[in-house]
């Protein structure tokens, strides 16, 4: 092949390379345009454009307040004056003397750090209001949370912080999970009720009342929620059957299982115990505390429901 032929082939090859580059460039443009259209159709690009970065106000001060807090109701089960009553007429159970208040009417947390969502939110609100002064409104909000509080019946309590001069500047503070940030970062929450105060704090209510077959959360740890529940019913013969127990529910699940329960059924007492599952979440000391408290509550409430029952057969 002569020199002229080589130069011609080289020229043709360069033209092909240029055409290939052009095709790749046009393909990239098409992909970018299609992606922008896809995001726009689903409102994603608009959300990013209209949702500015918001730095939570007084973040360092808030962090110092919530950092020591721990989501746990185990400490209240250590108290000897806590007891349980069952109301079969209203179909509710009442756990008495759960909350404590100081002379100023403020909620007292065990060891100034332990509580469940309502207690932690109430405690935190008192602490942060002097910091935020008159710049922000602070409200309590009931919410469902996709990890552990999946329905309104097991609702969670957080704080909503809104700038008074700008209703669009809204932050959520969740002391239970140590989360604080702009509202748009809480997509795993469903907010459905706001209030300026919590009833049990406002009225200094020491007891917790729940319908039968409802539970109260006690501890969140290792992707599990431990709860205390009372299940009860009047059977056809008028016998009052009931179960007191601890439940263990895995994160994102609705249904849990008993890890310890005592049952009064047709005049007979039954026991359910799953220490292996309990050990995944509870320490040996915590297990002993909760187990003994369930036994104490069960014995007392059984004596009240069946005052003429034989006292010698208790657990």
pLDDT confidence of residue 19: 62
| Alpha-carbon span 46 to 208, nearest angstrom | 45
Q: How far apart are CA 119 and CA 100, in angstroms?
A: 10
Which string of DSSP letters, residue by residue, matches 98-124?
A: --EE-TTS-EE-GGGTEE-HHHHHHHH
Q: How confident is the model at residue 49 (pLDDT cuts 50, 70, 90)?
A: very low
List domains and CATH numbers for the chain.
59-76+101-202 (3.10.620.30), 208-307 (no CATH)
For the chain, where are the alpha helices, taking DSSP H only? 3-41, 44-50, 59-66, 117-132, 199-202, 275-278, 284-305
- What distance in Å separates the CA atoms of residue 62 and residue 173, rounded to the nearest whole number? 9
pLDDT (tens digit per residue) in 260-312? 999 987 778 899 999 999 999 999 999 999 999 999 999 999 888 887 655 44
pTM: 0.79
Confidence of residue 44 (pLDDT cuts 50, 70, 90): very low
Mean pLDDT of all residues in 185-200: 93
Q: Is the pLDDT of residue 163 over 80?
A: yes
Residue 111 · residue 75 · CB < 8 Å? yes
| The predicted structure's pLDDT at residue 93 | 95
Please write the tens of the pLDDT for every residue from 92-110.
Answer: 999 999 999 999 889 999 9
The predicted model gives 133-155 an average pLDDT of: 86
Q: Could you tell me how far CA 236 lies from the centroid of its own chain? A: 37
Q: Say if residues 198 and 52 touch (Cβ distance below 8 Å).
A: no
């Amino acid at each position: 092949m002569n020199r002229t032929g080589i130069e011609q082939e080289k020229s043709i090859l360069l033209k092909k390379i240029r055409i290939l580059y052009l095709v790749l460039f046009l393909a990239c443009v098409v992909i970018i345009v299609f992606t922008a259209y896809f995001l726009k159709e689903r409102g994603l690009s608009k959300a990013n454009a209209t949702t500015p970065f918001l730095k939570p106000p007084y973040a360092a001060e808030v962090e110092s307040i919530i950092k020591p807090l721990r989501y746990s109701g185990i400490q209240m089960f250590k108290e000897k004056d806590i007891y349980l009553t069952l109301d079969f007429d209203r179909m509710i159970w009442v756990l008495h003397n759960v909350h404590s208040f100081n002379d100023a009417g403020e909620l007292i947390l065990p060891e100034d750090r332990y509580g469940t969502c309502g207690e932690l939110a109430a405690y935190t609100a008192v602490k942060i209001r002097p910091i935020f002064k008159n710049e922000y409104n602070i409200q309590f909000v009931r919410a469902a949370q996709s990890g552990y509080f999946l329905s309104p019946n097991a609702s969670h309590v957080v704080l909503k912080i809104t700038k008074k001069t700008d209703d669009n500047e809204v932050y959520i503070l969740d002391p239970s999970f140590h989360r604080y940030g702009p509202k748009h970062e809480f997509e795993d929450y469903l907010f459905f009720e706001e209030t300026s105060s919590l009833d049990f704090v406002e009225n200094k209510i020491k007891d917790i009342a729940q319908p039968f077959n409802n539970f109260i959360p006690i501890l969140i740890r290792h992707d599990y929620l431990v709860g205390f529940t009372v299940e009860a019913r009047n059977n056809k013969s008028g016998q009052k059957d009931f179960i007191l127990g601890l439940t263990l529910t895995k994160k994102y699940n609705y249904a849990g299982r008993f890890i310890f329960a005592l049952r009064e059924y047709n005049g007979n007492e039954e026991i359910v115990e799953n220490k292996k599952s309990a050990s995944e979440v509870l320490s040996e000391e915590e297990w002993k505390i909760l187990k003994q408290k369930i036994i104490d509550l069960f014995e007392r409430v059984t004596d009240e429901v069946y005052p003429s029952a034989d006292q010698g057969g208790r657990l």
